[in-house]
Amino acid sequence: MLPNFFMRRLQYNQQTLRFFVTMMALGFTIDGVYAVVFNLYLLRLGYDTTFIGQVNSIGLLVFAAMSLPAGIFGSWWTSSRMLRVGIGFILLGSSLLPLVEWTPQAWHEIWLILTYALILAGFSLYFVNGAPFLMGVVRRDEQNRAFAMQTALLSLAGFIGGLVGGTFPELIGFFQNLSLDDPQPYRYTLMLVALVMFIAFLVTWTIHGRVDDLDDEPREIPQTQNAHKGGFTKTIIILIGLMSLVRFLQVAGVGTASIFINVYLDTELKASTATIGTIMALARFVSIPMVLLAPRLIHRWGIGAVAVGASFSTALFLIPLAIIPHWWAAAIAYVATQSFSSLRFTAFIVYIMLLVPKHQQAVMAGAGEMAAGSSFAIMALSGGYILAAFSFRDLFLMGAGLSGLGSLIFWWHIKTSKGWER
């Protein structure tokens, strides 16, 4: 039934469908298998939460640092080329990372840091250029639905990857008589990712350009006054800066939860690997109907109202994650947080894309992803030290507070700019 449900809604051109295939490969890899297994693999290798925070933060800082250049490169060399480069980086990094145990012991830490950073550099190149690519290959009246479908497919792939990440280590351990305290079951699971990314890399070579029939400058922002180099007006620069600040704060909470939820469940709540994988997969699965409702919600309430409401809801559900120390409470809170975060992203990304002319959308997307990556990186790095000195409760509450602040700033922008009407 679920495949038929998606097929009835995948009435897009071949370029869009191929893009969706590669996006699902990324969802399976980054939001699925790696989200569940990577930190657990580091724990089994003998590393503590401080090093885990450092590895994640450095990778996310690379993601952030690459995001704005990725948008600029995409505007120079086309988004479709940057999709291929991004997938290539991820393929290389995911192929090398699980080989760390066969390198000299002195290389282990730097190997893990560099290969994970390579994966996230590729993810940045791909994700930043994915938004303007998709805006270019679908009609204006299909954009909300197309972005909702992209997020739904990303969540579906993350769901499948989460299940694989949760069950494969146990299956490998069972058939090879290995303990789940041993790194080998997690290593072999990560090796599976490289095969998936190789297939995605082949698909990207069939993605070759834009097929849009959209008007080139259908935006509300005036382009004639105070123009800077590249056609950026003072108004557009302020908008890019403000939306980047909002994005930085919005994702702080969900970033904290995404990075440390598996460590929290494993070390504090003593959940099994299968339980952790199921919870993280379920969060992705529940996101699917949520984001598929986005076009209807936007049509009824407006894109600004949906983005603001989902943003506040994301922050709100981080609170029970922090204050109720039981796996079922953590599961419910994490699932709700991820679901509303997916809805927020679907509405927010279209909203900010429509604020600027088409030729500047890649830069807007790049600035937003740079802000998000920086937020994830700072929360990952500080989170490792906060956990060493305080507790998961303090870390999750801090994330909730920052996300709430970002939601307030975005609400203020929507109210003062009459963004409810968009």
Alpha helices of 354-391 — where are they, by DSSP H? 361-389
| pTM score of the predicted model | 0.74
Residue 170: how many other CB atoms lie within 10 Å: 17
Token pair 């893990």 is found at: 112
List beta partners, residue 227: 233
Terminal Cα-to-Cα distance of the chain (whole angstroms): 34
What the chain holds in terms of domains, given with CATH numbers, is 14-208+228-421 (1.20.1250.20)
Q: Give the CA angle between residues 215, 219, 225 to the nearest 5°.
A: 120
Contact status, residue 203 vs residue 29, Cβ threshold 8 Å:
no
The residue type of 117 is: A
- Write out the DSSP string of 52-99: HHHHHHHHHHHHHHHHHHHHHHHHHH-HHHHHHHHHHHHHHHHHHGGG
Which of 231, 191, 146 has its CA nearest to residue 33?
191
Per-residue pLDDT of the chain (422 residues; tens, 9 = 90+): 444 544 455 567 788 889 999 999 999 998 889 988 999 999 999 998 889 888 988 998 898 888 888 877 777 777 788 899 999 999 999 999 999 999 999 999 999 999 999 999 999 899 888 878 887 788 777 777 888 888 889 889 988 998 899 899 989 988 888 888 899 999 999 998 899 999 999 999 988 755 544 444 444 443 433 444 456 688 888 889 999 999 999 999 998 998 899 889 998 988 888 888 889 888 888 888 888 888 889 888 888 899 999 999 999 999 999 999 898 999 999 999 999 998 998 889 888 888 888 777 778 888 888 898 889 888 888 888 888 888 899 999 999 999 999 999 999 998 888 655 55
Token pair in block for residue 76: 């120079």
Residue 1: how many other CB atoms lie within 10 Å: 5
d(CA 309, CA 5): 27
Which of 69, 169, 45 has its CA nearest to residue 129?
69
Contact status, residue 68 vs residue 367, Cβ threshold 8 Å:
yes
Q: What are phi and psi of 23, to 5 degrees?
A: -65, -40
CA-to-CA separations, 232 to 128, 132, 199, 357, 368, in angstroms, rounded: 19, 17, 38, 10, 16
